[in-house]
Amino acid sequence: MKIYAVISSGGSYDTYFERIEKCFTSWEAANEFAKQFDKSREFEQIIPDDIWGAAEDFADDTWNKELQDFCRKHDIPGTTEFEKRTEDQRVLLQKRIDELNSREHDNMLKYLEETYPGKYKMEDIIETENYFDTLYKEYHPSKIKEIELVVNEGDLVK
């Protein structure tokens, strides 16, 4: 029996890697999967660099202000006195940081909507972020490797 393994790869020299993504019993199915998989790693920069940078700065400024306000409200020592924080304060602070991190895209969208009404959507932020995240990963087109699967009668589980 023949198996067709879709193998993805990326990187170069000391960062090169290969990974089997999925195996098929049909070359046609493997080929279709490889095309779709490669397409899933292609992203477009919808938001230009300068606008992206300004939106990130706005989100960072919002994050910093909200965190400082939170620390003041809950009497949590600042970063220069972090060793004075109690365990309960650390836990409370980490929960707040996680919450603020989860709203980063919302803050970026707020900036974009206020500055460029109707021009950008949440999907544009995610697409552009994926573009930047994969920009230097050096993905290569997937390969399909044919593997002959041999099963001996004695190896079968009954």
Above 80 in pLDDT, residue 102? Answer: yes
CA distances to 13, 68, 72, 80 from 89, rounded to whole Å, are 45, 14, 12, 15
Residue 124 forms part of a structural domain: no
Confidence of residue 22 (pLDDT cuts 50, 70, 90): very high
Q: 65 and 17, same structural domain?
A: no
Residues 33-86 have pLDDT tens digits of 999 998 888 888 899 999 999 999 999 999 999 999 999 999 988 777 878 888
SS3 70: helix
Give this prediction's pTM: 0.62
What residues have CB less than 8 Å from 100, skipping those under 6 apart? 63, 66, 67
Residue 130 forms part of a structural domain: no
Q: 53 and 40, same structural domain?
A: no
Degrees (nearest 5) of the Cα angle 93, 98, 103?
A: 125
SS3 18: strand
Q: 108 and 75, same structural domain?
A: yes
What is the domain extent for residue 29? Answer: 2-44+137-155
